[in-house]
Structure 1
């Protein structure tokens, strides 16, 4: 088929309806490697719980629990913390907005490349942004002492970080990250830490540390790992006083009863959790080897996605488009990741068959582009 003359680049992953409409496909004809969602789909236990909930009219007739008691209990048990240290909302952005207001952040240090919603949320909240370019040669990894020194030089009162980092997947070990938080505390600097993908390396999380470190707020996602992003559940963890101040700035009924039921059930499905981690590791390492064999560079990742770097002579945006038009595969365009050279694409880790199709598809398209 003939691609549109102007390349369409979505600002987020997972925009299959837009892309399918743009390129003349049905959404189910496309394989989505642009969104970092568990390819296993939701746990069977979640689907059963939702079906049972929908069989009870009271679930829909009654307002959700304002305190989200059962959900916070499940989150607390999964994380080893108390409900009083947890705030819940329908996604990361409302939690970050509430945190910025409650902490009265004036100037935030933002290492890039990073998720585009970070800067947008900071700007919308009237917070000044001090941008810092992470070195590509270091795999965009965090160097705690360098980060703190740069934050101090820029007069920042907060740092907004992601661990593992997005879009690179780079991990800063829990020890190094805790050192950074403790050093920042000495200078009265708050640390806002997005751990959306820490479920793949849970031993490196600072979720429990956030309870005792007064200058730290950790943000977690439930929906990516458990493949239920349509239900929108995220939570923040900090000291009891910080969480109270954050909760005071959240709208009432931040998540629906059905979303609460699904997330609570998912968090208790330990078999699903362990299988996801095992399968993701095997599939990611297989992809890394296969990409290396066809001369596509991948950055070290601890997540369910890989950042790909292509040769300088490859038109990456045209490659992104041709993968859709010719192979029905949607990768994540990295055009809107600040501080990232235009030779990158990001891919999720999916099933074995889909991953194999991705590697062969890229190989075919790259070969055709050279002719």
Structure 2
């Protein structure tokens, strides 16, 4: 039977559904999952523990309103522009509710939006970004007839940060522009974010998972005009978020948390740049740059074999070939503490059969 527009084969669907947690088995040094902390910070655990006694009651409208108000104050928008989510991925699962006629998904990027749209029978066209052009977004590459456009900023897995003005040019009447800003709070100053801008038809999606070590809780939010949010959320069940998720959202938007996040983003950027330089000094390792997110995209000849040899040494990295536009020579690595980054660099040096220090090779002209 011929496949209809918007359908994918089973193999395609499995690839779109592959995420870094599959690569990171317990006991491995984890460079596959883009979560900064392996547990929430003490102050956040205290806030969550304080909410445990409320679990005997259904989440209240007052709790929902408090969390939405915290998000709204954080971004300088009215509370009616906020939709609280059970993780940013919930927003992608809701996109078919907007009934797009043609969705354009910019790639390489996070694959869950395409999976959700295709699974609902929505026709999807891929907009591939050119590696020779640094995977940079060109607004003219998006089909004019697309009434939904989905992209990430900064983009997973390329670590590219697109200029906000380039993204704004994609917005137009009759089109929903979905901007996945799951890693925006890991960019110092949250530069190029559209979260504070109320632009007609623009839907900004945020996650709290990455910065605050909350993948097991599922907490995020979307920002858009109230009419768009109402259409997006029309089919949600009652009580879509639990008490702990509501508490986490409010806690992570207060002033102390924002200060801590900005300090963490600055540290991450410094660690990333040093990590990128060390990796780029290795023979046969190409590091895509400039990088803006808390991860790096690498291209290594024989990448599949390299991944397996790293795993044998107790190190997990994210395979790249499940991202449309990349192949088995691509891997994504999260930025960790310098001492952990050094373990990966040394393991790669040994696997690739290198000798000598990365500093010596840097002096011979290795670049990021």
SS for the counterpart of 1:15 is helix
Match of 2:93 among 92, 97, 121: 97
SS for the counterpart of 1:95 is helix
* 1:150-206 deviations in Å (ceiling 9; x for gaps): x12xx322111111111101111112222232xx33xx3221111111112313111
Match of 1:221 among 207, 211, 216: 207
Q: Is the 8 A contact 1:87 1:246 kept in 2?
A: no
- 1:11 and 2:18 correspond: yes
Q: Is the 8 A contact 1:283 1:350 kept in 2?
A: yes
Q: Is the 8 A contact 2:107 2:126 kept in 1?
A: yes
Give distance in 1, aligned partners of 2:165 and 2:115. Answer: 30
Give distance in 1, aligned partners of 2:183 and 2:133. Answer: 20
Give distance in 1, aligned partners of 2:149 and 2:130. Answer: 17
> Aligned Cα RMSD in Å?
1.9
- 1:232 and 2:218 correspond: yes
Give distance in 1, aligned partners of 2:191 and 2:76. Answer: 12
Structure 2 counterpart of 1:177? 167
- 1:85 and 2:92 correspond: no
Larger CA deviation: 239-248 vs 169-178? 239-248
Q: Is the 8 A contact 1:298 1:307 kept in 2?
A: yes
Q: How far did 1:219 drift?
A: 0.9
Give distance in 2, aligned partners of 1:125 and 1:306. Answer: 32
Give the TM-score, by structure 2 length. Answer: 0.85
Structure 2 counterpart of 1:203? 191
Q: Is the 8 A contact 2:185 2:262 kept in 1?
A: no
Give distance in 1, aligned partners of 2:272 and 2:184. Answer: 16
Where is the helix percentage greater, Structure 1 or Structure 2? 1
Structure 1 counterpart of 2:50? 52
Larger CA deviation: 34-43 vs 123-132? 34-43
Give distance in 2, aligned partners of 1:279 and 1:100. Answer: 38
Larger CA deviation: 116-125 vs 243-252? 243-252
SS for the counterpart of 1:199 is helix
* 1:104-137 deviations in Å (ceiling 9; x for gaps): 2011112222222122111112210111221011
Give distance in 2, aligned partners of 1:264 and 1:39. Answer: 19
SS for the counterpart of 1:353 is helix
Q: How far did 1:66 drift?
A: 4.5
Q: How far did 1:40 drift?
A: 7.2
Give the TM-score, by structure 1 length. Answer: 0.84
Structure 2's unaligned 5+ residue stretches are: 1-14, 355-368
Give distance in 1, aligned partners of 2:129 and 2:191. Answer: 24
Match of 1:37 among 31, 35, 38: 35
Q: How far did 1:258 drift?
A: 1.1
Match of 2:131 among 107, 122, 136: 136
Give distance in 1, aligned partners of 2:39 and 2:136. Answer: 30
Structure 1 counterpart of 2:157? 167
Q: How far did 1:271 drift?
A: 3.4
Q: How far did 1:41 drift?
A: 4.3
Q: How far did 1:264 drift?
A: 1.6
SS for the counterpart of 1:363 is helix
Give distance in 2, aligned partners of 1:51 and 1:161. Answer: 36
Structure 1 counterpart of 2:315? 329
Q: How many residues align?
A: 332
The 5-angstrom pairing of residues 184-333 of structure 1 reads 184-185=172-173, 188-201=174-187, 202-209=190-197, 211=198, 213-268=199-254, 269-295=257-283, 296-299=285-288, 300-310=290-300, 314-325=301-312, 327-333=313-319
Give distance in 1, aligned partners of 2:118 and 2:222. Answer: 21
SS for the counterpart of 2:209 is coil
SS for the counterpart of 1:49 is helix
SS for the counterpart of 1:156 is coil
Structure 2 counterpart of 1:125? 120
Q: Is the 8 A contact 2:164 2:193 kept in 1?
A: yes
